[in-house]
Chains A and B, each alone.
Chain A
Amino acid sequence: MKEEPVPAEELQKVKNQFAAFEYRKLTANFPIFLQVLQNEGTGDWREVNEAAAKLQAVTAEDVQRVAREYFTKDNRAVAIYTRKPGTGSPSDDPDLAGLSAEQRPIIQRIVQALAAETDVAQLKQSLEQMLSQGDGGDPKRQQLQRIIQKKVTARIAELEKK
């Protein structure tokens, strides 16, 4: 990104996507309401009208310039995640067997959040919601949902014992 300007085709693809995406957010009253609100929250509601033209005006040189300005060693923060083997860490959870490397941290974050949640009624409501919403028939989601439901159920049981 810093060494060569992006090819025109690649830049136009991104511009098309920005344009279509921004306009699609304005096709009904409620989303317009949200856009105005969000733009006001981040500075000025008028951006809802002005952002599109600004995005379309970006040039390949601009892209290269900001890449050079911001992608510097000084600006870099690198986090390396490792795990200690077999010490009862959350990643040893047998429920997580068969999940991909991307899916595991999702469940681990949920387990952490559940440990901090003490409102049984809230948890039951969430569980109900999950059960009533179904899974949309996506097998990958089904597996994740089953595990999440199990974790929520376990946390409810734990809290109710206390």
Chain B
Amino acid sequence: MNLRSLAATLICLPLGMAFAAEIPDRPEKLTFPELTYEPPNPGNYRVPLKSGPVAYVVPDRTLPLVTISVLIRAGAYLDPPDKAGLAEFTGYLLARGGTQRMTAEELEERLAFLAANLGSGLGDDSGTVTLNLLSKDLPEGLRILREVLTEPRFQQNKLDLYRQQSLQAMQQRNDDSTAIEGRERRFLAYGTNFWVCRYTTEASVNAITQDAVRAFHRRWVHPVNFVVAVSGDFEKDAMVAQLESLFGDWPYAGEKPPAIPTDIHMAAPGIYLVDKDVNQGRVAVMLPGVLRTNPDIFAIQVMNDILGGGGFTSRIMNRVRSDEGLAYGAGSVFHGGTYYPPPFQASFASKSRSVTYATSIVLEEMQRIAADPVSAEDLATAKRSFVDTFPETFNTKAKVASTFARDEFTGRFAENPTYWQTWRSKIESVTLADVQRVAREHLHPDRAVILMVGQKAEIEQGDPKHPVPLKDLSPGPIMQVPQRDPMTMAPILKAEAQRLY
């Protein structure tokens, strides 16, 4: 008896299925039929609209709510170089800056009256506008959504306020070692000139005018760049008709964006140290990553789960935290990228003196999983954790619609329409030999790019009981990376990076 099956039992009750007589007196006496689960089929929900976008329409009459989510093919990769932040500002203000008919305040008040949640944002490589509201108010909600998408007001005082908040947050960029580590990771993984490393600056944010926001909106926020996910309390054909009028007769011409640039340049292997006076050092061990279309992607997921992705059952967590008590959390991620390969990353935070010792353990585990086959039991545990949590991917109708819409958006549906149907069998078919093979292919501790953010002197001194010199962690150079000016992102020292020894 676990929590989930208990929950499942309870859920049946409010639906009026009259199980009362069959409920035993003790929860452990409950019995359940064997679960056979099949994921939903995207073809059952896919509707190419005449007005342009592809929509995934998933009716669900259990609650009187509707969720409409418009995915937008636009993001920070379209920012002009001197206006970093333009996509972010445009996305934020779309739903919050009013429309031609309503001021920002009137829009906010009307949404509050309807108890409707409307949100918008443009991220790195995609954006969304999402509306969730009571189905009785759907016609008005769709009118508001159309106004927000086609004629947003981008009210000047809301733009000014967001700029002010952005500048204030910028001033605090170096206060927290987590933020420093996050930025430096990107610089090392992709190269400072890659578009994801184009951070906002005081100058770029001040260059974002209302005209620039309007122009960005008119250029990219258009049905040619939309994929739509709709779920909730409606009848399918009626919803399709409503979507056609939502996206039909667009008042301006849009443009399809260029392909997302993929020209990444990972830093050379070595140790990169940012000196920051904090009592915990943060460490990231990085190696070149893979795309999600990599034929070994399932073996890589299973291997990484055993190494450091599986939380308390993973090796890195077990050794760094449970055995040695050096960190609260430690682990690794090895995701396949959609457009460009994100790096393999193992990371943790530890007190300054134990940073090098803990790093040596992480490298040792990377070495070990490549050198020795994992046990059949470890392999089975990892596979189970993937297969048994698989139904959560589709545990609400909103997730069915949004997962399929995302696949349409990124091209996965076109490449592999049975991706989810075959997902579990691909996990199940990973062998012990596959795990070792992909570990050997991808995990090379001697080629790692190792980032450390913390008290340099203490880190160098090492752990009194387990002294590990920095130079033992990598055959590459040890570089000191300067902190960056929070308002310009320029390195505070003149030199880009300084070789220590």
Contacts and interface: CB of A to CB of B under 8 A. Distances in A.
Interface string B278-300: 00100000000000000000000
Nearest to B67: A27
A28 B395 contact: yes
A21 B117 CA distance: 10
A125 interface: yes
B8 interface: yes
Contact of A20 (B4, B14, B134): B134
Nearest to A133: B178
A16 interface: yes
Nearest to B232: A27
A139 interface: yes
A59 B147 CA distance: 34
A13 interface: yes
B7 interface: yes
B457 interface: no
A36 B329 contact: no
Interface string A126-160: 00110110110101001000100000000000000
Interface in B128-151: 132-134, 137
A20 B64 CA distance: 8
Interface of A is mostly: helix
B338 interface: no
B14 A49 contact: yes
A13 B113 contact: yes
B65 A27 contact: yes
Nearest to B137: A16
Interface in B331-360: 349
A81 interface: no
B13 A24 contact: no
Contacts of A23: 63-65, 134
B23 to A, nearest CB: 12
Contacts of B168: 139
A29 interface: yes
Interface in A80-121: none
Contacts of B498: none
A53 to B, nearest CB: 12
Nearest to A21: B115
A46 B178 CA distance: 46
B271 to A, nearest CB: 23
A117 to B, nearest CB: 18
Contacts of A36: 10-11, 13-14
Interface in B109-133: 112-116, 132-133
Nearest to A137: B169
17 contacts: A16-B137, A19-B115, A20-B133, A23-B134, A27-B396, A28-B396, A29-B4, A33-B10, A36-B11, A37-B10, A46-B14, A131-B178, A134-B178, A135-B176, A142-B175, A142-B176, A146-B175
Interface of B: 3-4, 6-8, 10-11, 13-14, 63-65, 112-116, 132-134, 137, 165, 168-169, 172, 175-176, 178-179, 280, 328-329, 349, 395-396, 398
Those 4 A-B pairs whose CB atoms lie nearest each other, nearest first: A20-B115, A33-B7, A128-B328, A16-B115
